[in-house]
Amino acid sequence: MSVPEQNVTTAPAAQQRAAIADLLHGVAPVADELGARFAAAGHELALVGGPVRDALLRRPTKDVDLTTDAPPERILELIDGWADAVWTIGIEFGTVGLRKNGHELEITTYRSESYDPRSRKPEVSYGTSLVEDLRRRDFAVNAMAARLPGYEFVDPFGGLADLGRKALRTPGRPEDSFGDDPLRMLRAARFASQLGFTVAPDVVEAMTAMAGRIEIVSAERVRDELSKLVSGPHPREGLALLVDTGLAAHVLPELPKLRLEIDEHHRHKDVYEHSLIVLEQAIAQEEDGPDLVLRLAALLHDIGKPRTRRFEEGGRVSFHHHEMVGAKMTRKRLTALRYPKDVVADVSRLVELHLRFHGYGSGEWTDSAVRRYVRDAGPLLSRLHKLTRADCTTRNKRKADRLRRTYDELEARIDRLAEEEELAAMRPELDGNQIQEILGIAPGPAVGKAYKFLLELRLDRGIIGPEAAAEELRRWAGEQGIGA
């Protein structure tokens, strides 16, 4: 929770130091000892960036990021024999990690970095000034530091005032900042989502003019920023910024394409606005913090509509099979963004299933259809419940109430069948060994066919008992010419 504006902008230096020291809690003795160690060797060390910002906003953070004028080789010398463990996976970018008394810290040499227009990797050069190091950072709210030991507050670019205004500016010209690292344009949208900050007009203007530069950034870095944006408390603000600046056209082009034109003859929902509302309504149902799979499914559930839109007689508009088309599009986009295979599969499956409930009508489904609904959703059933409920954005209160009551009834039927039939297991009543024994056959394709038959039998008729299942199996096998 952010502190009141006056507390952020006018807090005396002593309070700022106290807030930053309080952030460190148990790690403070380690940070102080390390700062003294660097100072004794004639080097600077400062807590920097996000941890300082979050301390002043009274937000918890797991990061302890430090910066120094010492080059990486010197950092290794200074912590040798002092740190409990050291890792150098980021040393080519000037970063050394360490563990001391159970606390993990990262120390990065003052640096500046920029992208060659033809390369995805930044060129890193080291500096000797804390202020210059802060100048090259993405935003003024991340360009504050606290020198160690003692937590002397350093804010050369007005980051503290920006915290009070909830504003996002760059330390220098935004064109220079985004030229150094185009990913910072996505970070602006991410901070709008995470912190609810307003992005300064000149920053928005630069993002719009330079949107195409994001193409040079690796898919993995884009994915990570997009995930943080979608998982933030205010994703609508961040997503709208991506769309309005043209960045979305490069990183998630399906999103701006949802802005279908609506004329006086062909009226239908604004699919883009509808998708943002569905996202917000899905978030309102979360129980244990941000659910990235649910949020992505809510955002992308209708991306098949632009491709499937048809104008029918009488001014009607149809989107036949948009859920199937959308599932394929979702799979392709998330794969291109290098999301893990399980995330790709789960989000795509939810997009594919999000319309299934609308075949339920006013309760016409048989128990067999309900079982198949559960079987097809599998472990995603809880998320499918939330997505389906979130997808109701009608302003017609009567219609909304009817849809809610109908889905309540479906969930109640699922719960009843689950209690009666162990619905979650959803397996045939006979296993492979029993199939072989009953039919007198060896392992092979015929066993798999028999298993599928028994699963369909289970879905159609529920639990009928092992003896009845065996009788049905023998009858089926006889028709198929399988077994004795």
- Which has the closest alpha carbon to 159: 64, 14, 52, 241? 52
Q: Would you state the pLDDT for residue 259?
A: 86
Chain length of the chain: 484
Report pLDDT digits (tens) over 226-273: 999 999 999 999 999 999 999 999 999 999 999 875 544 344 458 899
Of the given ranges (312-321, 331-340, 368-377, 405-414), which has the lowest mean pLDDT? 312-321
- 253-421 adopts what CATH topology? Hypothetical protein af1432 (1.10.3210)
Q: Would you state the pLDDT for residue 157?
A: 94
pLDDT category at 209 given cuts 50, 70, 90 is very high
Q: Would you state the pLDDT for residue 3?
A: 35
273 Cβ contact list (under 8 Å, min separation 6):
none
Of the given ranges (145-154, 355-364, 435-444), which has the lowest mean pLDDT? 355-364
Q: Would you state the pLDDT for residue 13?
A: 62
Q: Would you state the pLDDT for residue 144?
A: 93
Count other Cβ atoms within 10 Å, centred on residue 299.
Answer: 24
Residue span(s) of the chain under CATH 3.30.460.10 come to 1-164
Q: Which parts of 130-215 are beta strand (E)?
A: 145-147, 152-154, 167-168, 198-199
What are the start-end ranges of the H helices in 5-122?
Answer: 5-10, 13-24, 28-40, 50-56, 72-79
Residue span(s) of the chain under CATH 1.10.3210 come to 253-421
User: Would you say residue 105 has pLDDT above 50?
Assistant: yes
Cα angle 161-162-167, degrees, rounded to a multiple of 5: 155
pLDDT category at 318 given cuts 50, 70, 90 is confident
This prediction has a pTM of 0.80
Burial of 117 (C-beta count, 10 Å sphere; 0-12/13-18/19+): exposed
The stretch 85-99 carries a mean pLDDT of 91
CA distance 231 to 426: 33
Cα angle 116-133-233, degrees, rounded to a multiple of 5: 85
- When comparing pLDDT for 22 and 137, which is higher? 137
The mean pLDDT value of the chain amounts to: 86
Residue type, 5: E
Q: Would you state the pLDDT for residue 440?
A: 85
pLDDT category at 424 given cuts 50, 70, 90 is low
What superfamily does domain 1-164 belong to in CATH?
A: Beta Polymerase, domain 2 (3.30.460.10)
Of the given ranges (29-38, 188-197, 329-338, 409-418), which has the lowest mean pLDDT? 409-418
Report pLDDT digits (tens) over 325-382: 999 999 999 999 999 999 999 999 999 999 888 776 666 788 888 888 888 888 899 9
User: Would you say residue 113 has pLDDT above 70?
Assistant: no
